[in-house]
Amino acid sequence: MRRNPRELYGLWRKTSRRALLLGGAQVAFAGVLGWRMANLQVEQADEFRLLAEENRINIRLLPPARGEIFDRNGAVIAENSPSYRIIMVPEDAGDVPAVLNRLRQLVHLDPEDLERGLQEMRRSPPFLPVTLAEQVSWEDVSRVSVNAPALPGVTAEVGLTRIYPQGPDFAHVAGYVGPVSDYDLNQLQDPDPLLRIPRFQIGKVGVESKMEATLRGKAGAKRVEVNATGRVMRELDRTEGRSGADLQLTVDADLQSYVQARLGTDSASAVVMDCNSGDLLAIASSPVFDPNLFVRGISVADYRSLTDDPFRPLASKSVQGIYPPGSTFKMITAMAALEAGLITPDETVYCPGHMELSGRRFHCWRRGGHGHVDLQNALKQSCDVYFYDIAVRVGMDKISAMAQRFGLGIRHDVPMSAVARGLAPNRDWKPRVRGEDWLVGDTANAAIGQGFVLASPLQLAVMTARLATGRSVSPRLIKSVDGIEEPERAGQTIDVNENHLRMIRRGMYAVSNDRRGTAYGSRVIADEYRLAGKTGTSQVRNITEAERRSGVVRNEDLPWERRDHALFVNFAPAEAPRYAVAVVVEHGGGGSTAAAPIARDITLQALYGDTPPLSAYPAKDRSRIEAQQERLQREREDRNRRESDRA
């Protein structure tokens, strides 16, 4: 149908108006788009270029090799060993449960390790690798590699793991490492990014913990290209990190091994200290545990067996344990009285077996008393009444000050866990801490190392070394760091009268070498190696007057936890001291019977540098000592063989 010109004109006008509106909209849109593109490409180009680069390139940390730990002669205490582990990338695996079932048929997967791996999968992106098993054998690696087509996402790789070749011998000294926990991270204000690497290990206790910053080293880094989802496409470059520093300890591994074997399974501790340098040659606690169990995360059953043991194998008793020092403290009481000018070596005190103070009777360990005793005889026979008497005269403040000068009541600077301060209280301590007045009876108790006085085996070794040398020698555990020697700690001369020290040493010599000395049974026969020592027996229970009248119950008839602690300290050789030794046997009974024989054997082992000859022992003891030496040697060989097989 033909349209007239007017209709055609109207249609044209409508079409033109629509075209104009549509064209205008298109032009406006194109203008806005052009302006935005110019804004992004010109004005914000640098910002978006940087963001693009950051999305494309990731920096990933490379954990450094941990520094190793050696004994004073170069024997390895803690080292890094290559180990194989099996990892899985969940995204590549697809059906994770099915792949895990196939993997279980090929290699053993520890249930606890597997559970930790599954937890990591749940909280990590699916493209990140997760460790399923560590320290697997080469045979396991071979099985995984051969069956790779059936195990998508599963691969075996090599890494470093911490091992302790000496096993339990250095468990309390070196400590151990373990995976970083949330607790570890919460203790740090600005944690090293290394600590967030999955299953990264840090020192938990001992030297491993206290020297963590030195042993850890510095992280390396690698630049990798990733896609939009964060998956690694390729590695661009890498910078290797700096390994941690190697540490050399002052401890002698052979001597440490002997000391641990000699302590046996008793709840006990021993410290051997070089009198001239302060070096700790042995610092042992018994019973022990295997630190290798903690490296990957100890099982619940193994950990419970350690925590439930009444002998507390996890505690380093040599530095953490604090005990009433008993009669080993009597040298401090005597030094305070001598320095104050209140006694002379020849002055005697009469001991009838007890002393009355403020209406209370303080007993001597010997019920019938010792009669008239001077300083040397009081030390030799460990007469309590003598020290009650002189302590009341000198006062607790001077005794406390003297104790601190000789290393008691002080937290010594050694890199081990929970090093105890001990306690050498003065008269102000009790009102301040307990809100009670200090009594004269408190001074009498403190005079013989009971009451509030507390000391660790380490502190007792320091005290003995200072008595032996007259210098403020302090303990040193780190011999060198990356080959750079640490300063020795021989200390300065203590400001006391040397003649007074000689009197104390003479009394200690009599303890071990006079027939009436309390440690005569544990003497050394070799003239060049005779020792000077002091026994100690500290009570852990109160003995009532009724019990004294009826007869004090013998230690062996009491439950273990109510028996007395046994202590012994000594230095040797007596004429030219080289080593100071302190031994504590928890609830061991008498110091002369339980602690002194152990200390004598340890001292001779240190002096000879090997199994001492039987001629160094009293003739009556030689057959027993020979059998003991053979037994200890067999035990050490068996343990070394087991550790070698395990490694």
172 close to 316: Cβ distance less than 8 angstroms? yes
Three state DSSP letters for 239-297: ECCECCCCEEECCCHHHHHHHHHHHCCCCEEEEEEECCCCEEEEEEEECCCCHHHHCCC
Could you say which residues of the chain have pLDDT below 50?
A: 229
In the numeric block, which tokens belong to residue 275?
């009198």
pLDDT at 554: 80
Return d(Cα 499, Cα 495) in angstroms, integer.
12
What does the pLDDT look like over 73-102, one tens digit per residue? 999 999 998 888 888 888 778 888 888 888
Return d(Cα 363, Cα 369) in angstroms, integer.
9
419 close to 556: Cβ distance less than 8 angstroms? no
Sign (positive or negative) of CA dihedral 583, 587, 593, 594: negative
Nearest to 294 by CA among 313, 276, 280, 278: 313
**Catalytic residue from among 327, 417, 512, 538:** 327
318 close to 273: Cβ distance less than 8 angstroms? no
328 close to 460: Cβ distance less than 8 angstroms? yes
326 close to 203: Cβ distance less than 8 angstroms? no
What are 88's strand-pairing partners? Answer: 130, 154
320 close to 387: Cβ distance less than 8 angstroms? no
Three state DSSP letters for 18-64: HHHHHHHHHHHHHHHHHHHHHHHHHHCHHHHHHHHHHHHEEEEEECC
Sign (positive or negative) of CA dihedral 397, 399, 401, 403: negative
Return d(Cα 464, Cα 462) in angstroms, integer.
5
What are 570's strand-pairing partners? Answer: 533, 581
Nearest to 270 by CA among 373, 151, 154, 173: 173
Sign (positive or negative) of CA dihedral 136, 167, 642, 113: negative
Task: Tell me how crowded residue 219 is: count the other CB atoms within 10 A of its CB.
Answer: 19
Q: Is 74 left (phi over 0), alpha (psi -120 to 50) or beta?
A: left
Residue 298's SS3 state is coil
- Give every CB contact of residue 19 below 8 A, 6+ residues apart in sequence: none
Return d(Cα 25, Cα 198) in angstroms, integer.
56
pLDDT at 156: 81
574 close to 531: Cβ distance less than 8 angstroms? yes
Return d(Cα 494, Cα 472) in angstroms, integer.
6
What are 484's strand-pairing partners? Answer: 481
pLDDT at 52: 54
In the numeric block, which tokens belong to residue 370?
């010792």
Q: What is the DSSP string of 126-169?
A: TTS-EEEEEEE-HHHHHHHHHTGGGSTTEEEEEEEEEE-TTGGG
Return d(Cα 284, Cα 457) in angstroms, integer.
10
60 close to 234: Cβ distance less than 8 angstroms? no
pTM, 2 dp: 0.85
pLDDT at 298: 83
Task: Tell me how crowded residue 131 is: count the other CB atoms within 10 A of its CB.
Answer: 18
Return d(Cα 350, Cα 291) in angstroms, integer.
54
Q: Please give the span between the terminal C-alpha atoms of the chain, in angstroms, as a whole number.
A: 104
Question: Is 327 a catalytic site residue?
Answer: yes
Provide the H-helix boundaries in 471-576.
Answer: 498-513, 545-550
pLDDT at 173: 97
pLDDT at 40: 59
Angle subtended by helix axes 498-513 and 330-339, to nearest 10: 150
Length of the chain: 647
What does the pLDDT look like over 284-343, one tens digit per residue? 999 999 999 998 778 888 999 999 999 999 999 999 999 999 999 999 999 999 999 999
